[in-house]
Chain A
Amino acid sequence: AQSVAQPEDQVNVAEGNPLTVKCTYSVSGNPYLFWYVQYPNRGLQFLLKYITGDNLVKGSYGFEAEFNKSQTSFHLKKPSALVSDSALYFCAVREWNRDDKIIFGKGTRLHILP
């Protein structure tokens, strides 16, 4: 069965510092990986996705994520955090060529400290 783990409930980073939000996954086939961000009382906004190709994926708002097959990880990163990056971040996974259902991690709350 597919699963996604986000080991940190909350991550605190000082503004201007690099940030990392961790995600590991488990699928039986090839993964199709996503990161979404959610602001209070809002729906999910797409940040980036990995399908195939380069392991380093660049997305919206300066975010990027690195697919690591051997470690089954897809950590979200940004070189320099902004206060406006403070939000709830979800990692999600779907298997290729399976039904459209995707599985979300429990979310990691990111606090950027001014």
Chain B
Amino acid sequence: GAVVSQHPSWVICKSGTSVKIECRSLDFQATTMFWYRQFPKQSLMLMATSNEGSKATYEQGVEKDKFLINHASLTLSTLTVTSAHPEDSSFYICSASGSSRTYNEQFFGPGTRLTVL
């Protein structure tokens, strides 16, 4: 099956700093990538959808200036948490889907644990 990687797998940072998380599709071209946030013992919350070469579409309530998403190529999307604060601590998961429209499905990365001190 298709493989999606995330880097880093975990990161600890100080409050006020910015953190970048990478999401890569390793063996397919991902026309669309999704970023999710998961709080402990809760479901995945979709943050934004990004299509290669265009601006991301953010879900209601997600601050686009806080969570910067770039999808510059068909294999890479990045999520930058700007001026991170402790409440941004969470598990961030990306997923990617390819170009087959009819049976499009999402392939998930392993997640990134962000802890803001």
A-to-B contact residues, CB < 8 Å: 34, 36, 41-46, 49, 51, 90, 97, 99-102, 104-107, 109
Q: Which of B41, B102, B109 contacts A43 (CB 8 A)?
A: B109
Determine if A107 and B104 form an interchain contact, defined as CB atoms under 8 angstroms apart.
Answer: no
Interface of chain B residues 33 through 82 with chain A (CB within 8 A): 34, 41-44, 46, 49
Flag if A43 contacts B97 (CB, 8 Å): no
Task: Determine whether the beta carbon of B103 is less than 8 Å from that of A43.
Answer: no
Kindly identify which residue among B43, B105, B108 contacts A106, using a CB–CB cutoff of 8 Å: B43
A-B pairs, top 5 by smallest CB distance, nearest first, are A43-B110, A44-B108, A43-B111, A106-B43, A43-B108
Asked if A100 and B104 sit within 8 Å, CB to CB, the answer is yes
Contacts of B105 in A (CB 8 A): 34, 46, 49
Which of A41, A51, A100 lies in contact with B34, CB distance below 8 A? A100
Task: Give B95-113 as 1s and 0s: 1 = Cβ < 8 Å from A's Cβ atoms.
Answer: 1010001111111111101
Of all chain A residues, the one with the shortest Cβ separation from B93 is: A43
Q: Does B91 contact A (CB under 8 A)?
A: yes
Complex-state Cα separation, A100 to B95, whole angstroms = 11
With the chains together, A104 CA to B93 CA distance in Å?
13
Looking at the complex, which one of B1, B42, B103, B113 makes contact with A41 (CB distance below 8 Å)?
A: B113
Is the beta-carbon distance between A99 and B44 smaller than 8 angstroms?
no
- Given known contacts A51-B103, A90-B43, A107-B43, A100 and B111 CB-to-CB distance under 8 angstroms: no
Q: Which residues from A are CB-within-8-Å of B107?
A: 46
Q: List 16 A-B contacts (CB under 8 A).
A: A36-B108, A41-B111, A42-B110, A43-B6, A43-B108, A43-B109, A44-B95, A46-B105, A46-B107, A51-B103, A100-B34, A102-B106, A104-B43, A104-B44, A106-B43, A107-B43
